[in-house]
Each structure stands twice: as C-alpha cells, then as structure tokens.
Amino acid sequence: MSFGEPNNPYGQPQGQQPGYGQPQGQQPGYGYPQQAPQGVPPQYGYPQAPPVQQPYGAAGYPQGPAKMPGLMTAARVIMFILAGLQIIVAIIAGIGIAAASEAVDSDAATGLAGLGFVLVFILLLFAGLGIFLGVKFSTGGTAIRVLTIIYASLMLLGGLGNFASGEATGVPGGVISLAIGGIILASMVNSQASAWFNRPRQQY
C-alpha cells in the first residue's frame, strides 16, 4: 500500500507514528485540558456564593414591617392633636391665672396661682411627651413603646379620676381621656407594634 508521494504536503510524513501533531515522547492529551475525574460534575461559571442569612426581626417579619401599622398611625395623629390642644389650654390657663393673681393681692390668691402654674407646667410637660413619643414612633425601639404604654396608662388613670370626682363637668373629659388612652394603649400591645419596634434598623 502506498502512503502517497514523499513531496505531497497532504500526505503523512514517513517514519511518523499515527497521531498527527503529537510530539514524540509526550503523553496523550499534552496541551489540552485533562478530563475531569469520573463521578465529579464539571464546574461552570463563578463559584457559588454562600447563602444569605435573613436579618433578625420579629416573628412573621424576617426583615420587619416596611410600613407603620395603621392603628399606630392613628394613635400617633391623635397624640399630636391632643398635644396641640394641651398647649393651647395651658397657654390660656397661664394667662388667666396670671391676670387673676394680679387682680387679687392676697396670700390665698398667690397660693392658688402657684398651684395653677404647677398644673400648667404638668400639662405642657405631658404635651411635650406626647409630641416626643409621636415623633419617635418612626425610629424608636422598645423603650419608646414602653414609654408610650406608660403615657396611655396615665391618661386612663386621669379619665378614671374624672369619674371618681363625682362632678358632672368631669364626665365628658373622663370619657375622652378613656377613649384616647384606650386607642393609644391598644396600638402598643399588639403583635404588629412588637414587630415594628423590634425591626432591624440601619446603623449610622
């Protein structure tokens, strides 16, 4: 059998073993990627990243609720309105007490005026606390929730005090205090409030 002419460029050179292009003395597969071992699946692309852990949050909210619950929003608005009314009443009461103390110059009048100014100060302090808590609803944590529960409890006690006084004029104020205090307290003691105040926050 003839392998072609010696000068034919397409023929196989004489004396060369089968396996065109393979240098002599080299193992098969030189210059080419070795085949992966049997039983190991080939890896393609980039290495797989480790699973991402969910951030800490309350039960039912792996990342915490994204929006403030509706009952909390309503309680917040009520607290702002109530604080505004308390500030207006305190200013009017302070002006009236000051005018009355100047009109009546006596020790009894001075003592009553001092007591009236103390009550005005307490009213302003309560209004400031309501505004502070309402603002902190969006960024505060468990401490704000506890303070709000105390705030609502004091309001409920004030409403009950109006009923206990036995005066007819205190009944409407007692009803209003009980209603507002009940709404604020209810907004703080449910699972949605717990999830909201325990949600993860970005650290600055």
| 124 within a domain of the structure (yes/no) | yes
Domain span at residue 179 reads 70-197
| 117 within a domain of the structure (yes/no) | yes
| 3 within a domain of the structure (yes/no) | no
| 126 within a domain of the structure (yes/no) | yes
Residue type present at position 40: V
Confidence of residue 3 (pLDDT cuts 50, 70, 90): low
Alpha-carbon gap, residue 77 to 19, rounded angstroms: 87
Q: How far, in Å, are 125, 131, 153 from residue 86 at the CA level?
A: 10, 11, 17
Alpha-carbon gap, residue 194 to 196, rounded angstroms: 5
| 83 within a domain of the structure (yes/no) | yes
Confidence of residue 178 (pLDDT cuts 50, 70, 90): very high
Confidence of residue 56 (pLDDT cuts 50, 70, 90): very low
| 119 within a domain of the structure (yes/no) | yes
Query: Is the CB of residue 194 less than 8 Å from the CB of residue 62?
Result: no
| 91 within a domain of the structure (yes/no) | yes
- The pTM (predicted TM-score) of the whole model is 0.64
Domain count, the chain: 1
| 153 within a domain of the structure (yes/no) | yes
pLDDT recorded at residue 111:
79
